[in-house]
Structures are given as structure tokens and as C-alpha cells.
Chain A
Amino acid sequence: NAGVTQTPKFQVLKTGQSMTLQCAQDMNHEYMSWYRQDPGMGLRLIHYSVGAGITDQGEVPNGYNVSRSTTEDFPLRLLSAAPSQTSVYFCASSSLTGGGTEAFFGQGTRLTVV
């Protein structure tokens, strides 16, 4: 059982470049989300999805785009990378049904924008 898988683990981008951070989960969870983690600021919600075809903005959505075409996958796109997007990005998933309340996190993607 792989849980939540994120790729790549590390990435260096130049300002203005675009890229996609991949996230996949094999637990059939309805809810998936992306967070960024910055020193002293905890984890801040970027975008989230409650099911295929449904996405919504979180606290810090600017500069990021998401889509959810399948239950398993929830990619995060950086449209035009900026140094302010240097961060560690985490994808998480959880169940919205039954008693499931735990959010499972991936290992993270460390992104540096130069």
C-alpha cells in the first residue's frame, strides 16, 4: 500500500518556468489537497478537491492551478514560477465518508525557484 506518492522529490526552476507537481493516492480517498510549508508559517492550503471534477481554492491559491480528472491523481501546476514559490509542497488525502478523518501526507516536493 503506497499511500500518497509525490513526484519529484526535489526540483529547481528558473523564474518564469512552468512545471507540474504530481500527486497520486491509492486509498480511494475523495478528498485531496495541496499545502505549502514555509518556516514559521506551518502548512497553508493551496487548493483542494472533494472528488473528480471538483476543485476549490484554499488560503494561498495565486500562481497555482489544479485539476482532478480521476480519484487517484491531483496534480499541481505552477504557471510561471516565482522565487516566492520556493517552498516544500505536500499533497494529502483523506476520506469524506464513514469514520475516516485522518489526512495522509506524501513525502513532499522541495522546490527552489531561482
Chain B
Amino acid sequence: QQQVKQSPQSLIVQKGGISIINCAYENTAFDYFPWYQQFPGKGPALLIAIRPDVSEKKEGRFTISFNKSAKQFSLHIMDSQPGDSATYFCAARYGSARQLTFGSGTQLTVLP
């Protein structure tokens, strides 16, 4: 099963708040879990990524939490800013050809 399930579909947060987006997967062969950020009219761009042997990775205001036993991972955006308003996709990589399978996306709106 190659699916990655992402929630919520949309999220509205006040400036300075914490945004949390969750993803779950089934395939234990996935070996790399990136998050992509997409602004309107643009292609997705890598935001942050984690490997399954690490439980947490932090880059600035962005943190990935990874729970291997539960097959879940989440993106936390601390001190959310209006400039963070975008669509966020979780993804998981598999295979020697490094195919990515994506979640359905979360549209984040940060109110000023």
C-alpha cells in the first residue's frame, strides 16, 4: 500500500499560533519523509525532511515529529506567520528509483 493520508484538508491559525499537520502511512518500506510547501502558481519546494531512524527534526520554526511504531509523522509550525500561508504536502519515498507518494495536501491560512 503506497498511500499517505494527510489531515486536515484546511487549517486556519492566528499569527503567532502553532500549526500542526498530520500524516499517516502503511508501507514500512518508506525510507524518507519530506514535507513540501507550495505557494499559489508555483511548484512545490522542499521544506524539511526526516528519515525513519530519527524521532524529531527541527529547522527554525519548522519541526517534524516522527512516530515509527504508529506509522505517523507531523509538521509543526511554531509562531506561524502570514507568509507561511501556503499548501503543505507530506510525502514518503520508496524504491531504488526514489518514487515519492504524496498526501492530499493541507491549505494553511495564517491570519494577521
Let me know if A43 is at the binding interface, CB within 8 A: yes
Closest Cβ of chain B: how far from A72's Cβ, in Å? 18
Could you tell me if A43 and B44 are in contact, using CB atoms closer than 8 angstroms?
A: yes
Residues on A with C-beta less than 8 A from B66 are none
In angstroms, Cα B103 to Cα A59, docked, is 14
In angstroms, Cα B104 to Cα A44, docked, is 9
Could you tell me if B9 and A96 are in contact, using CB atoms closer than 8 angstroms?
A: no
Could you tell me if A101 and B44 are in contact, using CB atoms closer than 8 angstroms?
A: no
Q: Contact check: which of A40, A50, A59, A103 meets B9 at CB < 8 Å?
A: A40
Stretch at the interface among A14-22, A62-70, A76-84, A105-113: A105-113
Most B-side CB within 10 Å, residue of A35, A40, A43, A56: A43
- For chain B, residues 48 to 104, give those with C-beta under 8 angstroms from any C-beta of chain A: 49, 89, 93, 97-104
**What are 13 contact pairs spanning A and B, CB under 8 A?**
A31-B97, A44-B102, A45-B99, A58-B99, A90-B44, A92-B43, A101-B32, A101-B93, A102-B34, A102-B46, A105-B43, A106-B43, A108-B41
